[in-house]
Structure 1
Amino acid sequence: MEANSFAQVWQDVFTVQPDPPLWIVIAAGAVALLVVAAGGRAWRVARNVVTIAHEGGHAVVALLSGRQLTGVRLHSDTSGVTVSRGRPDGLGMIMTILAGYTAPAVVGLVGIVLLTAGRITALLWISILLLAAMLLLIRNVYGVVSVVGTGAVVFLVSWFTPAEVQSFFAYLFTWFMLFASVRPVFELQSQRRRQPSPHSDADQLDRLTGVPGTVWVMFFALFNMAVVVLGVWLLLFR
């Protein structure tokens, strides 16, 4: 869609696009898996998107549980922090912390729902709107740069590229969120072994529930891997 007006874009958002050729779906998945598995510079840059989803998950659940959201910070080492006010324990706080490491997989699953419904353009523009909402919560310069940069890439793809490129990008994003949901969990456990900290999500859940942090890491891993398996089936074998 090389759109000439927002009216055309708006029309395309509500239009069902045909499924792309299977090779595009597979190629996008292969590239996403390579970025996640190979690591290196590409992973460090792309991991910022995972951090945005992670902190966005904390923020959304904090609001849904009635907590007062103070703000979000994203850091150049791909870490982040979401600050909210409210009761320091209880179900709302537990769910808020639990949402972080599961959010990227959930985002990937939502992407699959939209893609399998033929809503490729809708996926891209919903992403832009969510990033704009996230921007209102950011409280540091790097966070602003990270969110604006991500939104700009999605906008440029959705506005200037043909349908085939948009399809590849949308599937690449969805595959990436699925695969990238798993690696940070293993990084979390590795960091917990090297530098134990009471501030990790797993250790905060340990303190709130009495369930050991390692068990929570296993839960994150199993949940995200289950979503990956479901996602592969939905995208390739449904």
Structure 2
Amino acid sequence: MKHETGQLSPAWPARAGFPPQDAVARTRTALLWAVALSLLLAILPWLWPAAAWIAWPQVVVATLVHEFGHGIAALVSGGGFESLRVYADGSGVAMTRGSAGGMQSAWIAAGGPGMPPLLALLLFVAARKETLARATLGVLGMLLLVALVLWVRNLFAAGLVLVCAALASTVAWRASGMLVQAFTGFVAVQLCLATLSRLGGLFQRGARTGAGELASDTMQMAQGLGGPHWFWAALLVLFSLLVLALGLWVLWRSFGLRAEPPAAI
């Protein structure tokens, strides 16, 4: 439909900044379905162990984000990020370089389990607006390609990064606004649940990876900062729960307040 300058589209209210009521309702419904699907994918393997394979994509993507978290934490703390590997069994390892200081080691260890909820918080904020969600997914797609060249060092991880980059970019530039926001919210919930789905690993002293047996992240945090490893595990779980609750509340309140206002009489 062509509109001349100065005319108002019948599908958009006279006051700019407020999308039509039906558009808000459709987007909110899509986000609710995305959240419900995320919860189902997280709970189903516990209720029906034979369906554990359904959660495999979430497991390997969460591992990818987790290992990137270690590398980014190393770079932020003045260390180096040498390489990253993710394996088909859901394990992974990031090779970092830093000083022998306990504080930096603890920071790098915390970067792994801390990265999924931090990225989830960013995606929750981005999901509030279509343009912001598109931009965020597009930037993430490009950053993944940069990371592929700089740090990814095994075939499985390379394929995983390419799939994630292609999916994020395709949704960002080709999907409808409603789908973009729903997908962004879906990924945010999945990242929060990723930490919660690995409770056993967080509360263990050691972790078995494709590179062998290593001290768990929470054990490394305990060695660098003091205290028992289960304290740091509980803190990370609490952080993920708070991000999940806050993100869902922000989304719901945002779409509740952005409805079309009553027309002036």
Same fold (TM over 0.5): yes
Deviations 1:30-79 (A, max 9, x none): 01111122231121122111111111111111101110211111111111
AA aligned to 1:209 is L
- Report the equivalent of 2:192: 178
Is 1:25 the counterpart of 2:38? The answer is: no
Q: For the structure 1 residues 47 and 198, does the alpha-carbon distance in structure 2 shift closer, same or farther, using more than 3 Å as the test?
A: closer
Report if aligned partners of 1:115, 1:123 keep a CA contact under 8 Å in 2: no
Task: State the alpha-carbon separation in 2 of the partners of residues 150 and 116 from structure 1.
Answer: 22
Q: TM-score, normalised by structure 1?
A: 0.83
- Report the equivalent of 2:243: 227
Displacement of 1:164: 3.0
| Greater relative contact order (Cα < 8 A, sep 6+) | 1
1:67-82 to 2 correspondence within 5 Å? 67-82=79-94
Report if aligned partners of 2:152, 2:158 keep a CA contact under 8 Å in 1: yes
Q: TM-score, normalised by structure 2?
A: 0.75
Q: Which moved more, 1:85-94 or 1:216-225?
A: 85-94
Structure of greater Rg: 2
1:191-230 to 2 correspondence within 5 Å? 192=205, 199-230=215-246
Task: State the alpha-carbon separation in 2 of the partners of residues 17 and 199 from structure 1.
Answer: 52
Report if aligned partners of 2:125, 2:247 keep a CA contact under 8 Å in 1: no
RMSD of Structure 2 on Structure 1 (CA): 2.4
Among 143, 149, 160, which residue is 1:146 paired with?
160
Displacement of 1:207: 2.0
* Displaced runs of 4 or more, over 4 A: 16-20, 189-195
Report if aligned partners of 2:135, 2:172 keep a CA contact under 8 Å in 1: no
- Report the equivalent of 2:60: 48
Q: Which moved more, 1:152-161 or 1:170-179?
A: 152-161
Q: Which moved more, 1:211-220 or 1:127-136?
A: 127-136
Task: State the alpha-carbon separation in 2 of the partners of residues 194 and 81 from structure 1.
Answer: 11
Q: More helix by proportion, 1 or 2? A: 1
- Report the equivalent of 1:37: 43
Task: State the alpha-carbon separation in 2 of the partners of residues 210 and 80 from structure 1.
Answer: 25
Report if aligned partners of 1:205, 1:216 keep a CA contact under 8 Å in 2: yes
- Report the equivalent of 1:3: none
SS at match of 1:87: coil
Q: What is the aligned length?
A: 221
SS at match of 1:116: coil
Q: For the structure 1 residues 17 and 27, does the alpha-carbon distance in structure 2 shift closer, same or farther, using more than 3 Å as the test?
A: farther
Displacement of 1:210: 2.6
Q: For the structure 1 residues 222 and 115, does the alpha-carbon distance in structure 2 shift closer, same or farther, using more than 3 Å as the test?
A: same
Task: State the alpha-carbon separation in 2 of the partners of residues 76 and 17 from structure 1.
Answer: 46
AA aligned to 2:111 is A
Report if aligned partners of 2:27, 2:182 keep a CA contact under 8 Å in 1: no
Report if aligned partners of 2:205, 2:215 keep a CA contact under 8 Å in 1: no
Task: State the alpha-carbon separation in 2 of the partners of residues 193 and 65 from structure 1.
Answer: 24
Q: For the structure 1 residues 157 and 164, does the alpha-carbon distance in structure 2 shift closer, same or farther, using more than 3 Å as the test?
A: same
AA aligned to 1:49 is V
Q: For the structure 1 residues 17 and 198, does the alpha-carbon distance in structure 2 shift closer, same or farther, using more than 3 Å as the test?
A: farther
- Report the equivalent of 1:161: 175
For structure 1, list consecutive stretches of 5 or more residues without a partner in the other structure: 1-15
Deviations 1:6-42 (A, max 9, x none): xxxxxxxxxx996552111101110111112223112
Task: State the alpha-carbon separation in 2 of the partners of residues 116 and 21 from structure 1.
Answer: 10
Report if aligned partners of 1:178, 1:231 keep a CA contact under 8 Å in 2: no
For structure 2, list consecutive stretches of 5 or more residues without a partner in the other structure: 1-16, 46-51, 255-265
Percent of pairs identical after alignment? 25
Task: State the alpha-carbon separation in 2 of the partners of residues 94 and 133 from structure 1.
Answer: 26
AA aligned to 2:34 is A
